[in-house]
Chain A
Amino acid sequence: METQTIKNTDKATKTTEYISGSEAIVRCLIEEGVKILYGYPGGAIMPVYDELYKYQDKIHHVLTRHEQGATHSAQGYARISGEVGVAMATSGPGATNLITGIADAQIDSTPMVCITGQVFSHLLGSDAFQETDIVGISTPVTKWNCQVTKAEDIPEAIAKAFYIARSGRPGPVLIDITKDAQIEKFDFSYEKCTKVRSYVPIPKTVEGSLEAAAKLINEAKKPLVVWGQGVILGKAEEAFKAVIEKAGIPAAWTILGASAIPTKHPLNVGMVGMHGNYAPNVLTNECDVLIAIGMRFDDRVTGKLDEYATQAKVIHFEIDPAEVNKNVKADVAVLGDAKATLEAVLPLINSNSHSEWHQKFKDLYAIEYEKVIKDDLHPTKEGLTMGEVLKEINIQSKGNAAIVSDVGQHQMIACRYAEFNKTKSNITSGGLGTMGFGLPAAIGAKMAAPEREVVSISGDGGYQMTIQELGTIFQQKAAVKVVVLNNDFLGMVRQWQQLFFEKRYASTEMINPNFVAIAEGYYIKARKVTKREDLAEAVKEMMESKEAYFLEVCVEKEGNVFPMIPTGASVSDVRLE
């Protein structure tokens, strides 16, 4: 294991130009179609910034206020556009500040390329100023990473990085480039990577598995689909809709699967998991065939594993073979790209309606509505609820906004109640649950899709983890709508303290600053709402604003999110109060 080789990629010869490594980096990004990147400069990456200055008509660098903001913005960009998000940082502290966003992108399968500067190669391993082993640090949270110490290796490394980040099950990639490699000149040519020898992005569909899946589906009396982000990442929304419509199967979503089909689609029976809807959680333990599509049976979805859908035959449509049988044993595994496999299974399945089975979902929804939803969306008692804020946003946006949420109670409420007409509209940190994700991710989303309304929804806790990105909003004139649902608590933790720690509210109460003044300090239009009668008008004003807008809504302090499956409980033990 002595020599670094980044061979085994397809490469053809092309005319060359004699340029520096740093210019090559910028040229490679342009070749990959990168128009916007997020980052923060520093000593070890300065040559690249100098080149970005030169190429600013081709590529727009966004100076975030923290490197974590750069990765989250790149993630937001990637999630709404389906393209690779790009983030850049200097060595040492710049590089380590990227890690949270990289880890988040890894667990949520978000395509991202991060470029970090590194000290001169002759200083590697000497504890030089701002040297850190970022390749070592990022290894467990990247799909692939590498260090480049020679300018001539840059094009191949970057080509490979983009290919790996976006192909198969997407993920984050990091390339660490020493300063000498940035300065050194070499003969530059660029060829996109289309293959890496040892890497199989899309596994072959096992022969007979489609037929076996179709047979189970056709024989099912009580089938249930649970779909995840794989449907969106695989651009399989249409094929997916066609399959569930033909077979008449009720379909429920994981938090990252939300928005793949419209919220109001008649077969959409809601969210599964810890704070998901009552019917799909309970009926998971009653269905006879469970069809999992592009989802990975996260423990937040399954609850207690050995009591999860034990009665059901399980079909798993999945691109990543390592996910099959990892948590839940599949009776039939349909490996492959979701679009291709769903299109292939469509002609093999019979038309069906399962109307009796659907009625069960409706009956349980009625119970959830009475016990939970009614009070969330149409509260009668004093104190604004998070749910009614979401309802108001739905009304004003007509379900066309992209909702970017942070992490906590407001996230669960946003995912439960936001209405989506379009795919790729629910941007949230699912697998890592990263507070501070929302605001910077919304910036990236708005810059990738300026024509879309992008509303970020945060709690008072998470908002303050990346609040400095208001500076990025202001400088970039990103017309993000920022909503903070302020309950003066780290609400989700407080809820657990209330339910499981006898109301010992240890370090969850927050004394908050004047949020409106802070937003105004960044020259962002701002408003605070404390009364129900002002809410609709304020949300309307926000949505009609052409510029960025900050809205603080003071909600009830001790509101809780229900339904809830306590950790370690079975999905059918979902609590409504």
Chain B
Amino acid sequence: MSTEKQLFTISVYTENNIGLLNRISAIFQRRHINIESLNISPSEIEGVAKFTIVVNMIEENVKKIIGQIEKQVEVIKAYYHDLDEIIYQISGLFKIKSELLFEERQIQNIIKESNARIVTVNKEFFVLEKSGKKEEIIELYNELSPFGIMQYTRSGLIAISKDEMKISTLLETYNN
């Protein structure tokens, strides 16, 4: 087990109840661990929420954190993965003056080459969306910023594991 800090994603399947975010984030806060990114959404199972949490930690401590998370009454199961074991995406949004779209040919090239998508265009501005790895989004940011970016934001990481996370089977055993 590596004793170097590295990025891990933690996937937590929970009942969809008020207050759980507080309980789970308190586990990190108490140990002085910074959450790099956090996403909560419905999962493939009805009524079950999925937290995707990215942290920079040594593996041994991630294991202990998983234990503490699973100990929470309303947590169904928690897993951790390093970035090689998951398929993940981050989404970035860029708001840019519309005139640049027509006046700067280079911008059109950047959009094409980066596989970014135009979400909307109006007289004042247009919005670009780019999904991918964090580096790809940062690269696009670096390319666009000389032209002036009116607004920029990036989502937390969302992930699907390569391995099966047998939540449905687990829930079946719970229900019996």
Contacts and interface: CB of A to CB of B under 8 A. Distances in A.
B64 A325 contact: yes
Contacts of B171: 197
Contact of A321 (B16, B70, B73, B174): B70
B86 interface: no
Interface stretch (A86-94, A135-143, A263-271, A456-464): A135-143
A510 B94 CA distance: 66
B156 to A, nearest CB: 15
A54 interface: no
Interface string A124-142: 0000000000011001100
Interface in B67-91: 67-68, 70-71, 73-76
A143 B171 CA distance: 21
A320 B14 CA distance: 19
A139 to B, nearest CB: 5
B20 interface: yes
Contact of A197 (B15, B18, B70, B71): B15
A139 B22 contact: yes
B175 interface: yes
Interface in A157-214: 164, 196-200
Nearest to A143: B73
A279 B39 CA distance: 52
B76 A198 contact: yes
Interface in A46-77: none
A463 B40 CA distance: 48
B26 A1 contact: no
Contact of B16 (A5, A135, A139, A143): A5
Contacts of B64: 322, 325-326
A5 B73 contact: no
A380 interface: no
A4 B17 contact: yes
Given A144-B73, A322-B67, A322-B70, A198 B174 contact: yes
Given A1-B16, A1-B40, A199 B74 contact: yes
A495 interface: no
A1 B22 CA distance: 11
B146 interface: no
A145 B76 contact: no
B174 A197 contact: yes
Nearest to A198: B76
Contacts of A320: 71
A146 interface: yes
A324 B68 CA distance: 11
A326 B16 contact: no
Contacts of B20: 1
A8 interface: yes
A1 B18 contact: yes
Interface residues of A, number: 28
A147 interface: yes
A135 B74 contact: no
B148 interface: no
A359 interface: no
B14 A322 contact: no
A424 to B, nearest CB: 25
A146 B18 CA distance: 8
B55 interface: no
Contacts of B76: 197-198
Contacts of A324: 67
A196 B175 CA distance: 9
A507 interface: no
B19 A145 contact: yes
Contacts of B71: 320-322
Interface string B137-148: 000000000000
Contact of A199 (B17, B40, B68, B73): B73
B49 interface: yes
A8 B15 CA distance: 9
A3 interface: yes
B30 interface: yes
Interface in B7-53: 14-23, 26, 30, 40, 47, 49
Given A136-B22, A198-B174, A325-B64, A1 B17 contact: yes
Nearest to B60: A325
Contacts of B70: 321-322
A198 B16 CA distance: 11
A57 B175 CA distance: 39
A203 to B, nearest CB: 10
Contacts of A5: 15-17, 47
A196 B76 CA distance: 10
B175 A197 contact: yes
Contacts of B63: 325
A387 B30 CA distance: 39
B12 to A, nearest CB: 11
Interface in A204-254: none
Nearest to B21: A1
B78 to A, nearest CB: 11
Interface of B: 14-23, 26, 30, 40, 47, 49, 63-64, 67-68, 70-71, 73-76, 171, 174-175
21 contacts: A1-B20, A1-B40, A3-B16, A3-B18, A4-B18, A5-B16, A5-B17, A6-B17, A135-B19, A136-B22, A143-B73, A146-B18, A197-B174, A197-B175, A198-B14, A198-B75, A198-B174, A199-B73, A321-B70, A322-B68, A325-B64
Interface of A: 1, 3-8, 135-136, 139-140, 143-147, 164, 196-200, 320-322, 324-326
Given A139-B22, A322-B70, A322-B71, 4 more contacts: A4-B18, A198-B15, A198-B174, A325-B63
9 tightest A-B CB contacts, nearest first: A322-B67, A198-B76, A144-B73, A4-B18, A322-B71, A199-B73, A140-B26, A197-B174, A198-B74
